[in-house]
Structure 1
C-alpha cells in the first residue's frame, strides 16, 4: 500500500509516468473482474481502459482513508455500471480462454479445469447484475465485506444478504441441474 500512496503522490506532483505502476499492478485483476461482468473480451478491454482514465482523472479525490485498491475498484465499477445503464448493456455469453494458465501436459487436468470454470462462469452469469458483482468482488478480487460495502455504496447487511442469496441461487441451480459443483449444494 505504501508503494501505491507513493505512486499517487508522484502522479499528483506531475510525474505522470508513475501512473504506469498503478496500471501494471491492477490491470489483470480489473480486467478479470470486468470480463466476468461483461462476458465480452473487447468490451472488457474498452471498459478497463476507460476506467483507468477515470481513476487517473479522479486521483486527487482519493482521501487515503481506506486502501487505494478499494477506492480504485469503486471508481472503476461505478464507471462500468454507468456505462451499462447508458447503453442498456446486454450481457453476452462467451467462454473465457484459460489455456494459457493450464498445464498442457495433463489433458485430464485441462479438461476438468475447463469444465469447472465453464460451469462456474455459467452459474455466475445467471445471477442478477448486483449479486454477480458482489460474488466477483468477494471471490475473484478477494475483497472483504467492508470493502465491498464501501465500493458498492450499500450497507454491510445488504452485502451479506446479496452474497447469501447469490450463493443460494447457485447452489439451487446445481442441485436442480447437477454438475461439477455438486459439493456446493451441500452448503459449502
Structure 2
C-alpha cells in the first residue's frame, strides 16, 4: 500500500511514467474479472484500457481511506457497468486457455480440470449480472465481503445474501442436471 501511495503521489505531481507501475500491478486482475463479465477477449481488452484511462483521470479523487485495490476495482467495474448499459453487451462463452492452468502430465487430470472449468464458467454465466459480478469478485479476485460491499456500493448484508443466492442457484442447476460440484456443496 505504501508503494502504491508513492506511485499515486508521483503521478499527481506530474510524473506520468509512475502510472505504468499501477497498470502493471492491476492489469491482469482487472482483465480476468472483465473477461469473465464480457466473455469476449477483445471487449475485455478494450474495457480494461478504457478503465485505466478513467482511473488515471480520477486518481486525484482517491481519498486514501479505503484500499486502493478496492477503489480501482470500483472505478473499473462501474465503467464496465456503464458500458454494458450503453451498448447492451451480449455475453458469449469463451474458451479459457487451460494449457497454462493445468499440468499436462496426466491426461485424465487435464480432462477433469477442463471439464470442471467449463462447467463452472457455464454456471456463472447463467447468473444475473449483479450476482455474477459478486461471485467473480469474491472467488476470482479474492476480495473480502467488505471490499466487495465498498466496491459495488451495496450494503454488506446484501452482498452476503446475493452471494448465498448465487451459490444456491448454481447448486440447484447442478442438482437439476444430475451432477455434483464439491466447491458448491452446502457447507462451503
Range of TM-score over shorter length: over 0.9
- Partner of 1:134 in structure 2? 134
Alpha-carbon distance in structure 1 between the residues aligned to 2:97 and 2:156: 34
1:71-82 equivalent positions in 2, closer than 5 A: 71-82=71-82
What's the CA shift for 1:62? 0.3
Give the stretch that moved more between structures: 128-137 or 96-105.
96-105
Scaled by the length of structure 2, the TM-score of the pair is: 0.95
Contact 1:116 1:180 (8 Å CA) reproduced: no
**RMSD of aligned alpha carbons:** 1.3
What's the CA shift for 1:185? 4.0
What's the CA shift for 1:101? 2.6
- Partner of 2:114 in structure 1? 114
Q: Secondary structure at the match of 1:115?
A: helix
- Partner of 2:174 in structure 1? 174
- Partner of 2:62 in structure 1? 62
Q: Deviations over 1:103-132 (max 9, x none)?
A: 222222211111111111001000000000
Q: Does residue 37 of structure 1 match 2:37?
A: yes
**Alignment coverage as a number of residue pairs:** 188
Alpha-carbon distance in structure 1 between the residues aligned to 2:182 and 2:10: 50
Scaled by the length of structure 1, the TM-score of the pair is: 0.95
Alpha-carbon distance in structure 1 between the residues aligned to 2:23 and 2:179: 38
Alpha-carbon distance in structure 2 between the residues aligned to 1:102 and 1:129: 28
Alpha-carbon distance in structure 2 between the residues aligned to 1:84 and 1:121: 20
What's the CA shift for 1:179? 3.4
> What stretches of structure 1 move > 3 A for 4+ residues in a row?
none
Contact 1:175 1:185 (8 Å CA) reproduced: no
